[in-house]
Copies of this chain bind each other. A is one copy, B any other.
Amino acid sequence: MNLSPLQKARYEYSPKLPGMLRNGVAEICVQEGADTQSVADQDKIKALFPNTYGKKEITFVKGANTAPQKKQVVGVILSGGQAPGGHNVITGLYDALKAASKDNELLGFKGGPDGLLKNDYVTFDDAFIDAFRNTGGFDIIGSGRTKLETKEQFATVAENAKVNGLTAIVIIGGDDSNTNAATLAEYMAANNTGIQVIGCPKTIDGDLKNEDIEASFGFDTATKTYSEVIGNIERDANSAKKYWHFVKVMGRSASHVALECALETQPNICLIGEEVKEKKMTLSQITSYIADSVEKRAANGDNFGVAIIPEGIVEFVPEFSVLIAEINELLAGEKTDAFNALPSWNDKYEFIKKGLTAESFAVFDLLPQGIQQQLFLERDPHGNVQVSLIESEKLFSELVKGELAKRKAAGTYKGKFSALHHFFGYEGRCAFPSNFDADYCYSLGYNAFMLISYGYTGYLSKVSNISKPAEEWVAGGMPITKMMNMERRNGEDKPVIRKALVELDGAPFKFFAANREKWAVETAYTYPGAIQYYGPSEVCDITTRTLALEKGC
């Protein structure tokens, strides 16, 4: 491997642990708190998790280690999309495990859950681990999206764990993966395998967050990376003064990433899916909202701007969801063939016009032809519209262009409108973790081992008070079942970790909402620049604006 100067330098970085974990494994003891309950549907969750439900919240404190002495053989997987800091969870876990005993072993299962199912793993040693300290990516063992959720899969995992003498499994993943970690923990307990399961909260999307988990790891680094390039684009827009940049950012189920980037860069426009849904906004209303900013800025001579669009925005627009449902129905089963047999787009268009309700056809008719065709021609294997393929940044810039043409004809708008498009997602998922994520992840991994050594299972590694300096962070664990409720998924009631959406009465959104009218018209851009790992603490040890606002810092 050809190492960059930064990668070499980052190897030398010592991640900061919470104060109570800094005195060595021998000086960490456990303090049990109150019994826990799930956030909702307590009876149902309890019935589904008879062996792991209701366990106590736990916190680590300084004191003589009282954990039973036994050889630990831990398996670890990375599950789902990449997030900066995943490598540090593993290095923290490794360091704690080896500090407890040189005989302990850490096995990395490759390619996500598949590694556990196929028993495909590597045994870590110092040289292996050292090559990944404080680096981005999940390339240490790869990741995968297979879901561990069936009894058959659990049995296979248990068997492979037994073959390798595993005492515990650590699952590093998002809300679904940790839901599955809880179910796996319950299976392991119910079957007396003796194998513990611990989860670690990962996702750049920021939607694994609750009263126990202040932030999922990776969100900090990813949003800082997007904000760096969005800030650069803002500065370019404000220099060239001739383009509106429509910037889509990752985040389908929630708009935390878009909101955080907006808080960091103060663009003219940022759409928030949760607000669109709450206010039942239509495509026309959103278009008007953006066009108003373009028009007001143009009146001030500013024919440029920046708009942030969350990847999943159209799925939050109620009328659009209805349209999609109608299209899926319209082309269900054999009807697709009849549709495909129509010779020209004009024929297809008439077919669509007849097949949709008047309301949905009106929505459909608003769309640029390219997107209309995309909705009907590119379907997934089940024949459903692939909403994720819709380039929402281009959709809205097209709609705004059309709206501005009307306003120009009406004489209210006299500016020029030229749009450029960007999509940032893959650019941030594997960045070198910020100092915050490097520290937080290392602590989560280190802490995960402490939970294992003290015999806990079905717990999420929990490090809190993380808006404060690392010295003041609090390490501990929380039963995953505490975060669960029942939700309807694919026609079944399932116990799942409740996904955190942007709260419209939360401090981050309220700060944004209180400022956005000004930002829409003025040029109030903030230029965060590249993530700094060295230098003044106020530059290189800052957390997200979202977390700071949530914690009132």
The 5 closest A-B pairs by CB, nearest first: A534-B535, A530-B530, A235-B430, A137-B235, A138-B239
Closest-CB distance, A263 to chain B (whole angstroms) = 10
Q: Is the CB of B232 within 8 A of A9?
A: no
* Binary CB contact string for chain A from 126 to 170 against chain B (1 if under 8 A, 0 otherwise): 000000000111110011000000000000000000000000000
23 interchain pairs, CB-CB under 8 A: A1-B526, A4-B526, A4-B527, A6-B527, A6-B530, A9-B535, A9-B539, A81-B240, A136-B527, A137-B239, A138-B239, A138-B240, A142-B241, A225-B232, A232-B431, A420-B426, A422-B426, A431-B530, A432-B527, A530-B531, A533-B535, A534-B535, A534-B539
Write the chain B residue with the least CB distance to A541: B5
Closest-CB distance, A199 to chain B (whole angstroms) = 20
Query: Mostly helix, strand, loop or mixed at chain A's interface?
Result: loop
Chain A positions within 8 Å of B, measured between CB atoms, are 1-7, 9-10, 81-82, 111, 135-139, 142-143, 225, 228-229, 231-233, 235-236, 238-241, 245, 264, 266, 420, 422-423, 426-432, 524, 526-536, 538-540, 542
Question: In the docked arrangement, what's the CA distance between A136 and B240, Å?
Answer: 13
Q: Is the CB of B225 within 8 A of A426?
A: no
Question: In the docked arrangement, what's the CA distance between A153 and B89, Å?
Answer: 63
| Other A-B pairs, 8, CB within 8 Å; known A136-B235, A138-B240, A422-B423 | A4-B231, A9-B536, A111-B241, A136-B527, A137-B235, A432-B527, A530-B532, A532-B534
B contact residues around A239 at 8 Å (CB): 82, 137-139, 142-143, 430
Question: In the docked arrangement, what's the CA distance between A429 and B26, Å?
Answer: 52
Question: In the docked arrangement, what's the CA distance between A245 and B538, Å?
Answer: 35
Question: In the docked arrangement, what's the CA distance between A497 and B154, Å?
Answer: 70
Partner of A538, one of B5, B137, B142, B427: B5
Question: In the docked arrangement, what's the CA distance between A526 and B4, Å?
Answer: 6
Q: Is the CB of B232 within 8 A of A426?
A: yes
Question: In the docked arrangement, what's the CA distance between A51 and B4, Å?
Answer: 49
Closest-CB distance, A95 to chain B (whole angstroms) = 22
Partner of A534, one of B3, B245, B524, B534: B534
With A239-B142, A534-B534, A534-B535 as given contacts, are A542 and B5 in contact (CB-CB < 8 Å)?
A: yes
With A2-B266, A240-B143 as given contacts, are A427 and B233 in contact (CB-CB < 8 Å)?
A: yes
With A527-B135, A534-B532 as given contacts, are A539 and B231 in contact (CB-CB < 8 Å)?
A: no
